[in-house]
């Protein structure tokens, strides 16, 4: 029988090179690689990641083929070719599928596949029609590559048994060489360290790192580090870390009576700050939100603490930044008690409600809402009218918000209502009767959907403006995460991609108050509690934006982009690699809006001090976060 053709490994490398080129081409607007030198390094680093990924999925196949060569002729020996082919097909198709998915999905999270992807895919199954229609070309590519892999599997042949000593010696020598080669590829190419997803940072900029990565390796690394990802770190004594970044805070207030003001939170799906900032070149048509901004407490320098909906909701309602791969409420720390906005208002006698037009417990949001103290949840099934189903995610925002207004009107005061909108989610479907109203040749599909959400909110306010509870309510608006306004056609910086709107409107006390301080999603709960006059403790890693005792220079937002942790203050953004305990980049984004001039290479003494300060805050937050979750003491 023929031996394993030497051509197969090169074909597999060619497939992954093709997928890398597809990833680069599809997301070319998100990267700025200028020189041939940079392209060569990306290719070489990508080849290194591909080799390690191929070894991971094909090593079991090679082991089976090696066993076949040592066994004497028997029925068992002949049957081993079938599991070898099965493992070859399953392993390689899994790796190809991850890389195909990342071609289309990268622009949403700005990092390659990790453990969170499996939760996103599972929760997106009900909307498979829109996914397939929007990304049919990736499915077509996957089908073609599936046929190729199956044909390659057919070339895996039973290897002849070797009987003479010389042949056995040569076979043993080849297998030893294979092991040595595998160790070389997985070790020495990482400059003496095992190759991991961040290894290309040895010669590439962080902005270009995803171009050199392989999605199979990033996913496997995330999966293998799941159980020990949040092992406590010890940058400082715990007392120092808790002082710099406490997970438990106290608010003081002169209010001596019970809190009586209602709270309605609108978590706006996929709202970039660009969509609502007056004069922004990517602004959507949002006349209603424009009118509210002129009579609200607005924080124009707000940033997301995560990059997905399941991270945004945890940051907004739970006060926890997204510093691990999987959603908090699916992790081993899901039994950590919380004491944030919903839990506190429930203790204060509020009726607490979560409302979303998607199917029950969509993305696990119902699970987390209950953890966060929202006792009652209302979904597409409660709305119970399929005429308003958008065909993808749930009930269109306008009719569901109207339904939500009726739900809140039936609640005893005071109440908390948290809405999660859905109509600004790809594929940006609009109701048939309103599609032409929001069609604009100079606007993207996302911007048109944003205009529809603005209309939906205006209709909600119009329907409830005269209700007895309306003027006694704080209305809070915040995005769950950023979304590319140009759908991947232009690059956005590491600061742009987490820039979101956040403002509070109080119809009983309208005021034009724009505060240019850095704000994060984790700051929302303590700010609202402070505004309500709450006196007591709360948990989370945010601080009230109304607290004038905190200097502007001490306000910052932390998030995580793949393996890089980011901290953003009023002038700078620092990227930090926790694994290596080293800074990766520093940009003055107020002067360098595109974040192209990495100041770590040229920084002055004043910037050296800023780096140390930002590193201290970031390390302290990571240490406190991991320690508090490990000890389950956020209550």
Q: pLDDT tens digits, residue range 299-332?
A: 999 999 999 899 999 999 999 999 987 888 888 7
pLDDT band at 576, cuts 50/70/90?
A: very high
pLDDT band at 1, cuts 50/70/90?
A: very low
pLDDT digits (tens, 9 = 90+) for 411-435: 999 999 999 999 998 889 999 989 8
Under 8 Å between Cβ of 208 and 38: yes
More confident residue, 362 or 314: 314
Mean pLDDT for 17-25 is 90
pLDDT band at 191, cuts 50/70/90?
A: very low
- Whether the per-residue pLDDT at 635 is higher than 80: the answer is no
Mean pLDDT for 548-557 is 93
Mean model confidence pLDDT for the chain: 85
pLDDT of residue 174: 53
Angle of helix 36-70 relative to helix 165-183, nearest 10 degrees, comes to 150
- Whether the per-residue pLDDT at 134 is higher than 80: the answer is no
pLDDT band at 487, cuts 50/70/90?
A: low
pLDDT band at 161, cuts 50/70/90?
A: low
Q: Backbone phi, then psi, for 298, in 5-degree steps? A: -120, 135
pLDDT band at 2, cuts 50/70/90?
A: very low
Under 8 Å CB-to-CB from 473, ≥6 apart: which residues? 261, 262, 263, 264, 506, 507
Mean pLDDT for 214-233 is 73
- Whether the per-residue pLDDT at 169 is higher than 60: the answer is no
Q: Return the SS3 of 125.
A: helix
Alpha carbon separation from 538 to 371, 508, 635 (Å, rounded): 15, 26, 8
pLDDT of residue 561: 85
- Whether the per-residue pLDDT at 144 is higher than 90: the answer is yes
User: What is the percent of the chain with per-residue pLDDT over 70, rounded to a whole number?
Assistant: 85
Distance CA 53, CA 618 (A): 31
- Whether the per-residue pLDDT at 580 is higher than 90: the answer is no
Under 8 Å CB-to-CB from 519, ≥6 apart: which residues? 299, 301, 302, 303, 502, 527, 545, 555, 557
Residue carrying structure tokens 């987390």: 368
DSSP 227: T
Alpha carbon separation from 282 to 176, 456, 474, 489, 590 (Å, rounded): 59, 21, 28, 12, 19
Mean pLDDT for 187-213 is 66
pLDDT of residue 30: 74
Cα atoms in the 13 Å half-sphere on the side-chain side of 223: 10
pLDDT of residue 316: 98
Domain limits, the chain: 7-224, 271-630
pLDDT band at 3, cuts 50/70/90?
A: very low
- Whether the per-residue pLDDT at 167 is higher than 60: the answer is no
- Whether the per-residue pLDDT at 186 is higher than 80: the answer is no
Alpha helices per DSSP H over 155-214: 165-183, 209-212
pLDDT of residue 493: 86
Cis peptide before 427 (omega within 30 of 0): yes
Mean pLDDT for 601-626 is 88
Distance CA 275, CA 176 (A): 59
pLDDT digits (tens, 9 = 90+) for 58-113: 888 887 877 776 666 666 666 777 888 899 999 999 999 999 988 888 877 677 88
pLDDT band at 294, cuts 50/70/90?
A: very high
pLDDT band at 41, cuts 50/70/90?
A: confident
pLDDT band at 365, cuts 50/70/90?
A: very high
Q: What is the CATH code of the structural domain delimited by 271-630?
A: 3.40.720.10
DSSP 580: T
Radius of gyration of the chain (CA): 27
Q: Which two tokens mark 566?
A: 């980011």
Closest CA to 214 of 108, 94, 326, 107: 94
pLDDT band at 489, cuts 50/70/90?
A: low
Q: Which of 29-43, 134-148, 212-226, 410-424 shows the highest mean pLDDT?
A: 410-424
Q: Which two tokens mark 94?
A: 């899994």
pLDDT of residue 77: 61
pLDDT of residue 189: 47
46-55, 227-236, 326-335: lowest mean pLDDT where? 227-236
User: What is the percent of the chain with per-residue pLDDT over 90, rounded to a whole number?
Assistant: 51
106-110, 344-348, 350-354, 425-429: lowest mean pLDDT where? 106-110
Mean pLDDT for 45-58 is 86
245-259, 298-312, 364-378: lowest mean pLDDT where? 245-259
More confident residue, 588 or 113: 588
DSSP 143: H
């Amino acid at each position: 029988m023929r031996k394993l053709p030497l051509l197969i490994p090169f074909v597999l490398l060619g497939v992954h090179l093709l997928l890398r080129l597809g990833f680069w081409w599809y997301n070319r607007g998100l990267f700025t690689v200028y020189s041939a030198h940079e392209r060569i390094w990306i290719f070489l680093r990508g080849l290194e990641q591909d080799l390690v990924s191929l070894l991971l999925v094909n090593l079991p196949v090679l082991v089976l083929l090696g066993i076949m060569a040592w066994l004497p002729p028997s029925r068992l020996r002949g049957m081993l070719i079938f599991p070898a082919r099965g493992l070859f097909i399953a392993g390689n198709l899994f790796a190809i599928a991850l890389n195909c998915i990342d071609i289309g999905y990268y622009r949403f999270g700005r990092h390659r596949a990790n453990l969170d992807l499996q939760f996103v895919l599972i929760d997106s199954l009900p909307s498979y029609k829109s996914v397939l229609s929007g990304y049919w070309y990736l499915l077509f590519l996957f089908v073609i590559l599936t046929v190729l892999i199956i044909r390659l599997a057919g070339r895996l042949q039973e290897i002849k048994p070797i009987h003479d000593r010389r042949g056995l010696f040569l076979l043993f020598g080849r297998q030893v060489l294979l092991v040595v080669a595998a160790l070389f590829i997985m070790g020495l190419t990482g400059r003496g360290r095992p190759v991991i997803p961040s290894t290309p940072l040895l010669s590439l900029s962080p902005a270009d790192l995803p171009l050199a990565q392989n999605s199979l390796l990033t996913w496997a690394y995330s999966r293998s580090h799941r159980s020990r990802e949040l092992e406590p770190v010890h940058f400082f004594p715990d007392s120092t870390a808790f002082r710099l970044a406490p997970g438990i805070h106290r608010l003081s207030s002169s209010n001596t009576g019970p809190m009586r003001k209602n709270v309605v939170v609108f978590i706006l799906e996929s709202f970039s700050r660009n969509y609502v900032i007056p004069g922004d070149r990517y602004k959507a048509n949002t006349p209603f939100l424009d009118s509210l901004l002129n009579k609200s407490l607005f924080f124009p320098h707000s940033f997301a603490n995560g990059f997905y909906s399941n991270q945004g909701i945890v940051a907004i309602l739970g006060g926890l930044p997204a510093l691990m791969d999987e959603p908090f409420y699916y992790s081993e720390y899901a039994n950590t008690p919380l004491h944030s906005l919903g839990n506190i208002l429930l203790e204060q006698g509020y009726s607490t409600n979560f409302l979303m037009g998607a199917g029950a417990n969509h993305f696990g949001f119902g699970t987390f809402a209950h953890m966060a103290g929202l006792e009652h949840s209302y979904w597409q099934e409660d709305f119970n009218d399929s005429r308003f189903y958008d065909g993808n995610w749930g009930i269109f925002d306008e009719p569901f918000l109207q339904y939500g207004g009726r739900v809140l009107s039936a609640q005893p005061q005071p109440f908390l209502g948290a809405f999660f909108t859905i109509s600004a989610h790809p594929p940006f479907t609009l109701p048939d009767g309103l599609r032409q109203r929001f069609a604009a040749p100079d606007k993207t599909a996302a911007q048109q959907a944003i205009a529809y959400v603005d209309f939906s909110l205006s209709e909600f306010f119009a329907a409830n403006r005269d209700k007895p509870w309306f003027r006694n309510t704080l209305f809070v608006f915040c995005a769950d995460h950023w979304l590319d306004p140009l759908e991947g056609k232009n690059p956005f910086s590491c600061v742009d991609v987490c820039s979101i709107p956040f403002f509070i409107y109080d119809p009983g006390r309208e005021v034009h108050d724009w505060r240019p301080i850095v704000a994060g999603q984790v700051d929302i709960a303590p700010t609202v509690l402070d505004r309500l006059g709450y006196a007591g403790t709360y948990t989370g890693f945010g601080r009230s934006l109304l607290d004038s005792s905190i200097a502007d220079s001490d306000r910052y937002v932390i998030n995580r982009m793949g393996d890089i942790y980011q901290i953003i203050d009023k002038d700078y953004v620092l990227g930090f690699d926790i694994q290596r305990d080293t800074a990766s980049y520093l940009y003055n984004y107020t002067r360098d809006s595109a974040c192209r001039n990495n100041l770590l290479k040229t920084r002055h003494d004043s910037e050296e001090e800023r780096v140390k300060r930002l590193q201290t805050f970031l390390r302290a937050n990571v240490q406190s976060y991991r320690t508090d979750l490990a000890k389950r003491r956020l209550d």
